[in-house]
Amino acid sequence: MPKHYRPAGKKKEGNAAKYITRTKAVSYLQISLAVFRKLCILKGVFPREPKKKVEGNHKTYYHMKDIAFLAHDPLIEKFREIKVHRKKVKKAIAKKNRDLADRLLNRPPTYKLDRLIIERYPTFVDALRDLDDCLTMVHLFAALPAVEGERVQVQRIHNCRRLSHEWQAYISRTNALRKTFISVKGIYYQAEVQGQKITWLTPHALQQVLTDDVDFNVMLTFLEFYETLLGFINFKLYHSINVNYPPILDPRLEALAAELYALSRYMSSGRLPGNPETNGLIKDKETENNEEGSKTVESELRLAQLQHQLPANEPGTLMHLVEESTADDTEDSTVKECRSLFKNLKFYLSREVPRESLLFIIPAFGGTVSWEGEGAPFDETDQDITHQIVDRPTQSHVFLSREYVQPQWVFDCVNNCIVLPTEYYVVGRVPPPHLSPFVDNDEVGYTPEFEEKILKRLRAASKDKVLPLPGLGDEDQDNSMVDARSEYNEVAEKKRKLDMLEKQYHEELKMEIEGETFSSLANKKGDNPTHAVDNDAHAANDQVDDLVEQAKKDEAEMSKSFVSNKTEGLIRAIEINKERKRSNVELLKERKRKASSSASAKRK
């Protein structure tokens, strides 16, 4: 807070001192709201929720430390400079002082964001963790029309395209792509870089329309940061695989809008031994590795020494090391799996197929790919092509040596990590439903038919694994259930006995009244009771079920009477949530049932 006189004992404390509303923050920093917004976006400062909202409920609160953090940033001064510069230019133009205006315009004040990036993401993994939004945004802007006079500068769109291609080239090169999904909104990709799962969305390869309902200032500020971030990340990633950054591309391919292919070629060539620079890099790397290796040996020795000092029964830390190494192995195996999925397969893309995404995906899984058009590595008549990807109602000229599949096949193969049979994806056929790889079907409680019936089986078959039998896992639960049941059986048994006795008693009474002899009674007893007992057993079984259910319910209710109001609300919320999930699943099942019944009716 600005320091001014405050009467004794009136010092602000607690939430009133810790948090500041946005309006006050803006006036405290002596900047305009627009600049404040820009600063917040670039610095990654966000409002916080104080425990007690001193100034009112409907205000946005920032933490005082955050605001102080903004106030100390040199960027704030830079923004002022920019403002002043703009005024100077305006003044010069208004005074017809052309040279001054030119001189000023030649040297506008600029600022760099690298400091901010290292401040916000001190380690590389931090940056990777937050990369989802960045990639989605950059890919979105890469899909915008690069037209002069629009609200977005052409140069920035081109920059976004370049960055996104570089990123994709890296992912493709390192086989880091894991999952893909064609949605209505675009194509989702999930990659794993340094153990971080990164998901991003690319719009479909159709140009977006710039709408009026968005504030481009905000988006462009975000983009500004994201562009820088992605640039540095790309640099780091390229550096890690010994490729120069920024890459220099074949202008011919670039002109043909096959930048991705150009990039991948660049990358593969960058590893050639003829390149002295990279060679040196590799050597450096190797020496580093050696050093690291010696270091690890040392540290292991230290660990062993420490191990002696530790009490003997402690589980060794060396175990950890072993585990880690095995974990590394498994990771390698997934990468290997990904690399070898489309190995020895040669793809050819038809004109109507979304080229960019397939050029990205197929090499990422080890396949070779070409396309219809100039600059393609091989053309349609190549005899080695195993799969041609087509998205048209009929294919006129057919090579017998290859299979013609729809693009969805590639995506489904990738998601299931097996090469699926092409019969479902033949040209002209409506492909089977495309399922999201991001959904945990068990958690949702509903598995779509295609997944359940076909994909699971195929996956299992490819891995030669036997699926565990359902219901083996929850033995404990069963046991407890059995317990409860036996208890209630006992009770019911008792009750039944009582009933029997009572019945018998009544019958005897009746008989007594009727005056029947014991002998006839014995006869009757011979045929009657077995029947009765049977019936009874049935009824009793039902009763037992009822009782068990009732008891469960009772128990739940009773223990509920003990929890506090807060917990009760929580429990209720959880139950409502569960109920909602269940109703959703019910709805799906209902629709499925209806659809299948109508389909069967049609068939008839």
Partner 1 sequence: MGHADQDRQPVNNDGLSSDDEPWSDSDEGSLSFDDSGSDDPDEDEAAAGESDSSEDEVGPRNTVGQVPLEWYKDEEHIGYDIDGRKIKKRDREGRIEQYLRNADDAKNWRKIYDVYNDEEVQITKDEAKIISRLLKGKTPHANVDPYPDYVDWFEYDGEGHPLSNAPEPKRRFVPSKWEQKKVVKLVRAIRNGWIKFDKPKEEPNYYLLWGDETDTADNKREGLSYIPAPKPNLPGHEESYNPSVEYIPTQEEIDSYQLMYEEDRPKFIPRRFESLRSVPAYEKALREGFDRCLDLYLCPRTHKKRINVDPESLKPKLPSKKDLRPYPRTCYLEFKGHNGPVKSLSVEATGQWIASGSSDGTIRVWEVETGRCLKVLNVGADVHAIAWNPSPERPILAAIVGHDLLLLDADVGDEETKMRTKELLCVDEPTPEDDADGKKPAVRWVKHEKFDGITLIHHKLSKKRSHHPFRKLPGLPVAATFHPTQKMFFVATKKFVQVYDLQKAEVVKKLESGVREISSISIHPGGDNVIVGSKDGKLCWFDTDLSTKPYKTLKTHKKDITSVTFHRRYPLFASSSEDCTAYVFHGMVYSDLNQNPLIVPLEILRGHLSIDRRGVLDCKFHPRQPWLFTAGADSVIRLYCE
Site for partner 1 in 50-89 (CB under 8 A): 60-61, 63, 65-66, 69
**Residue 60: strand, helix, or coil:** coil
Return the CA Rg of the chain.
36
Q: How many residues touch partner 1 (CB under 8 A)?
A: 108
Query: Binding pattern to partner 1, positions 485-504, x when CB under 8 A?
Result: ------x--xx---------
Stretch that binds partner 1, among 77-85, 125-133, 509-517, 519-527 (CB under 8 A): 125-133
What residues pair up with 348 in beta bridges, in sequence order?
370, 388
Task: Pick the closer one to partner 1 by CB: 144 or 258.
Answer: 144
Pick from 20, 35, 76, 140: which binds partner 1 (CB under 8 A)?
Answer: 140
Q: Quick check: 147 binds partner 1 (CB under 8 A)?
A: no
Stretch that binds partner 1, among 82-90, 272-280, 531-539, 584-592 (CB under 8 A): 584-592
- Residue 237 phi/psi, 5-degree rounding, is -65, -45
Pick from 23, 97, 183, 541: which binds partner 1 (CB under 8 A)?
Answer: 183
Q: Quick check: 305 binds partner 1 (CB under 8 A)?
A: no
Nearest Cα to Cα of residue 182 among 442, 443, 437: 437
Contact 5, 11 (CB under 8 A): no
Pick from 24, 37, 80, 271: which binds partner 1 (CB under 8 A)?
Answer: 37
Measure the CA–CA gap between 353 and 208, rounded to whole angstroms.
18
Pick from 170, 189, 232, 342: which binds partner 1 (CB under 8 A)?
Answer: 232
Determine the distance from the C-alpha atom of residue 385 to the mean position of all C-alpha atoms in its chain, rounded to a whole number.
34
**Residue 128: strand, helix, or coil:** helix
Pick from 528, 563, 579, 597: which binds partner 1 (CB under 8 A)?
Answer: 563
User: Which positions from 404 through 443 interact with partner 1, judged by CB under 8 A?
Assistant: 406-408, 430-431, 433-436, 438-439
Question: What is the DSSP code (8-state) at residue 426?
Answer: B
Smallest distance, partner 1 to C-beta of residue 9, A: 28
Listed in sequence order, the residues at least 6 apart from 265 whose beta carbon sits closer than 8 Å to its beta carbon are: 250, 253
Stretch that binds partner 1, among 210-218, 261-269, 304-312, 334-342 (CB under 8 A): 210-218
Task: Pick the closer one to partner 1 by CB: 252 or 506.
Answer: 506
Q: Quick check: 246 binds partner 1 (CB under 8 A)?
A: yes
Smallest distance, partner 1 to C-beta of residue 308, A: 27
Smallest distance, partner 1 to C-beta of residue 122, A: 4
Nearest Cα to Cα of residue 416 among 425, 404, 427: 425
What residues pair up with 201 in beta bridges, in sequence order?
188
Pick from 27, 30, 97, 207: which binds partner 1 (CB under 8 A)?
Answer: 207
Listed in sequence order, the residues at least 6 apart from 348 whose beta carbon sits closer than 8 Å to its beta carbon are: 369, 370, 371, 372, 378, 380, 382, 385, 387, 388, 389, 402
User: Which positions from 533 through 552 interact with partner 1, judged by CB under 8 A?
Assistant: 550
- Residue 122 phi/psi, 5-degree rounding, is -65, -30
Q: Quick check: 373 binds partner 1 (CB under 8 A)?
A: no
Residue with the two structure tokens 């993994």:
125
Q: Quick check: 359 binds partner 1 (CB under 8 A)?
A: no
Pick from 204, 271, 339, 456: which binds partner 1 (CB under 8 A)?
Answer: 204
Pick from 11, 538, 560, 582: which binds partner 1 (CB under 8 A)?
Answer: 560
Smallest distance, partner 1 to C-beta of residue 561, A: 5
Task: Give the burial class of 192: count Cβ atoms within 10 A of its Cβ; 0-12 exposed, 13-18 middle, 19 or more buried.
Answer: buried
Q: Quick check: 111 binds partner 1 (CB under 8 A)?
A: no
Stretch that binds partner 1, among 228-236, 257-265, 458-466, 471-479 (CB under 8 A): 228-236
Measure the CA–CA gap between 417 and 462, rounded to whole angstroms.
9
Q: Quick check: 368 binds partner 1 (CB under 8 A)?
A: no
Contact 361, 410 (CB under 8 A): yes
Q: Quick check: 156 binds partner 1 (CB under 8 A)?
A: no
Cα→Cα distances 298→141, 238, 303, 306, 313, Å = 50, 30, 9, 12, 24
Question: Residue 311, preceding bond cis, omega within 30 degrees?
Answer: no
Smallest distance, partner 1 to C-beta of residue 527, A: 31
Q: Quick check: 505 binds partner 1 (CB under 8 A)?
A: no
Stretch that binds partner 1, among 198-206, 453-461, 527-535, 536-544 (CB under 8 A): 198-206
Q: Quick check: 561 binds partner 1 (CB under 8 A)?
A: yes
Pick from 94, 184, 312, 469: which binds partner 1 (CB under 8 A)?
Answer: 184
Pick from 559, 579, 586, 597: which binds partner 1 (CB under 8 A)?
Answer: 559
Determine the distance from the C-alpha atom of residue 483 to the mean position of all C-alpha atoms in its chain, rounded to a whole number.
42
Smallest distance, partner 1 to C-beta of residue 267, A: 17
Task: Pick the closer one to partner 1 by CB: 112 or 463.
Answer: 112
Determine the distance from the C-alpha atom of residue 176 to the mean position of all C-alpha atoms in its chain, rounded to a whole number.
14
> Going by DSSP bridges, is the β-strand pair 196-202/187-193 parallel, antiparallel, or unpaired?
antiparallel
Task: Pick the closer one to partner 1 by CB: 37 or 80.
Answer: 37
User: Which positions from 439 through 478 interact with partner 1, judged by CB under 8 A?
Assistant: 439, 444, 448-450
Print the SS3 string covering 294-331.
HHHHHHHHHHHHHHHHCCCCCCCCHHHHHHHHHHHHHH
Write out the DSSP string of 330-376.
HHHHHHHHHHHTTTT-EEEE-TTS-HHHHHHHHHHTT-EEEESSTT-
